[in-house]
Amino acid sequence: MTDALSITRDLVRCRSITPIDAGALGVLEKLLKGAGFETHRVTFSEPGTADVHNLYARIGSEAPHISFAGHTDVVPPGDESAWTLGAFSGEIKDGFIYGRGAVDMKGGIACSAAAVLQYLADHGGKPREDGKGSISFIITGDEEDISVNGTVKLLQWAAARGEKFDHCVLGEPSNVDTLGDCIKIGRRGSQSGTLYVDGIQGHVAYPHRASNPVPDISRLILALSDEPLDHGSAQFQASNLEFTSVDVGNSTNNVIPGQARAKFNIRFNDLHTQASLRELVEARLAKAAGNRIKAHIAWEPSNSNVFVTRPGDFTNLAVAAIEEVTGRKPELSTSGGTSDARFIASYCPVIEFGLVGQTMHQIDERASVTDIEKLTQIYRGILDRYFA
């Protein structure tokens, strides 16, 4: 069956705990092949990581080319005995379909697939009557894990084949409270690091023979945290640096430690690049440490860059499709964490719009049946406008 609810059910019943596929990609591939898509199952791996299976499917060979993206892998279900219905049951109760991934984001993928199949059935199996236009699916399997063998590599593989994307809709659960309240048009970047402060280990009874790094790292934490990195930009809220742990590795109370360290994460907006951000924080550290405190930062590698899709024709047609179905004009937002859109943005403008995210990653994750029906209508409205 090709309706969105049936596809959601079939996907949820695949126990695709990241990075295991468990048949989820096969569900989609069968549907898309039957509609005339050329499909490719592509597997990537790196030393020390598990193989990740991905799916790329396309119908049409010319521009304009719109792609629907998503991931079929899910986080672990937790205590399965605590679920009202089975964690991978796909059962319906009181107007909701239950199961891990129903919201994040098998439900969104199912809606896009159903909308595309319905659209093609109404248009003679082609995106446009003149033979132009393309529709594709970028479906990956490790978004909930380390995100190295999924979207980033599948996009590289597609580009090497000569694939060019004009626009993309990522079906992440972007809505906060109600379907139609929010479109994600960008995300802040993410950069982590560890602050190290070196001292001299010694006995607590003889502090003059030691140099305690604990007071020093406390001062530096305050110095780096207190001054804002910026005050926000036209599309983004202010960047923020948050310390998440402080440790000296000391198991006794009569030894002054020789080193203290503190982990932190920065969510940064489009006023910074990773390089300029690091330079700014390093300069503030040097000023606060002076010549007395010995401190340095070890930066972690990061592929979470800031991106934004500027409001324009593409966002306008999405807003119009949402308003038509829900009666709501969505906010164009850049809030929240990271997603695979950070990779897609290097290839084409991308927006995120899916189901309501209130129960994602929770026990009893569930999606409203009504929302699934409406999201399918919204995606259909996007297609109608895109190829008009």
**Strands (E) located in 158-239:** 167-170, 182-184, 186-187, 189-198, 202-203
Report whether 386 contacts 169 (CB < 8 A).
Answer: no
Task: Tell me how far CA of residue 153 lies from CA of 24, 43, 98, 308, in angstroms.
Answer: 19, 9, 31, 21
172 a catalytic residue = no
Helix 24-34, helix 4-12: angle, nearest 10: 150
Q: How far apart are CA 213 and CA 267, in angstroms?
A: 27
Report the candidate in 328, 317, 381 with the shortest Cα–Cα distance to residue 178.
328
Burial readout 86-123 (b: 16 or more C-beta within 10 A, e: otherwise): ebbbbbeeeebbbbbbbbbbbbbbbbbbbbbbbbbeee
What the block records as the tokens of 279 is 């330079």
Q: How far apart are CA 263 and CA 256, in angstroms?
A: 20
Maximum C-alpha span of the chain = 86
Given 10, 21, 29, 73, the catalytic residue: 73
Given 143, 144, 270, 371, the catalytic residue: 143
What the block records as the tokens of 253 is 């109370």
79 a catalytic residue = no
Helix 213-226, helix 274-289: angle, nearest 10: 130
Please identify every residue annotated as catalytic.
Answer: 73, 143
